[in-house]
Amino acid sequence: MLEEEGEAEGGAAPMGELNPLLLRELERRDLDRDRIVQGVLETGTLREVEGVPEELRRLFVTALEVPPERHLQVQAAFQRHTDNSVSKTVNLPEETEPEEVAALYRRAWEEGLKGVTVYRFGSKRSQVVQMGAGEEAHEYEHRAECDPTECRL
């Protein structure tokens, strides 16, 4: 597990996060985990770190590296199979223009989405998600514990 470090605005410690599957894959492939993790923490993306196989760069992307249209497609795929609205944030880079945001809302409507959340990185003075140096990654499992005698589908 990677430890938390530092202090964010308001006194809260920032929590960096790396996909535990990425960390396992780096170890499985005998890649320099510490150097790669440090590179991700400094740049905010695996794409910028030297010595990472292209297969891993394509597989382990950040929300900002996913094209906005793809975010909507993922949400639409879930929305087609539920009566409730589906929550999915479309993450946009800081340089996104208002016309692009308007086009995304229109596209969401055309796809039949019941709601859409758009977040433009850097649009707030302080934000929950930060990228870059000074943060340590935090590892946790992406699954829920379930007692088979208690959990029912």
* Structural domain contains residue 108: yes
Q: Show the domain range for 49.
A: 9-62+130-138
Is the pTM above the cut of 0.75? no
- Domain identity same for 43 and 75: no
Claim to verify: residue 106 and residue 74 sit in the same structural domain: yes
For residue range 82-110, what is the model confidence (pLDDT) as tens digits? 888 888 889 898 899 999 999 999 999 99
Cα distances (Å, whole numbers) of residue 20 to 87, 140, 142: 24, 7, 8
Cα separation, 18 vs 32, whole angstroms: 15
- In this structure, of 26-30, 63-67, 77-81, 121-125, the range with the lowest mean pLDDT score is 121-125
Structural domain count, the chain: 2
Q: Which tokens belong to 95? A: 């340089």
In a domain, 102, yes or no: yes
For residue 146, tell me if it sits in a domain: no
Which residues, 6 or more positions from 62, have their beta carbon under 8 angstroms from its beta carbon? 44, 45, 131
For the chain, count helices (H), then strands (E). Answer: 5, 4
pLDDT tens digits for range 71-85: 999 999 988 888 888
